[in-house]
Structure 1
Amino acid sequence: METPPERDAAAAARHARFGSLPKRIQFHEMVEEQAAGPNAAVATAYNPEGSWKHFSCLALDLGL
C-alpha cells in the first residue's frame, strides 16, 4: 500500500513544523530582577491622617 504523494507532502510539512519540541527555556532566562526604588516603603507606609478616607461604616453613611 502506497500513500498518495499529497499526503506525504502534507505529512512532511507537519513533521517539519511540529516534529520536535521547542528548546527548553531556562529559569534564569525567564526572570528579570530589578532593584526596588528608595521610595517604595514611603508609598506603602501607614498614614493616620488619611486613614479616614478608607473607613466605611453604614451608620456614618446614614448620618447616625
Structure 2
Amino acid sequence: MKKELTADSAAAAARHARYGTLPERIRFEDMTEEVESAPGGAAASYDPEGSWKSYSCLALDLGL
C-alpha cells in the first residue's frame, strides 16, 4: 500500500528538502557568560572638569 501525497504533505516535503531541519536549541546557560569586571571601570574614567565639553543645551546652541 503506497501512501498518497496530498498538497499539504507535498508542500511540507518540499520545505524540508529546501530548508532542512531547525538547528538544535541552545540552552540559556550557554548563551550567557559571567566575567569579573576590572576594578575602577567606568567610575575611574569620569572627569567632572571635562564633562562640560559634551554638555548640550538648546538655549546655548541658539545663542539665547
TM-score, normalising length: structure 1 = 0.47
Structure 1 or 2, whichever has the larger Rg, is 1
TM-score, normalising length: structure 2 = 0.47
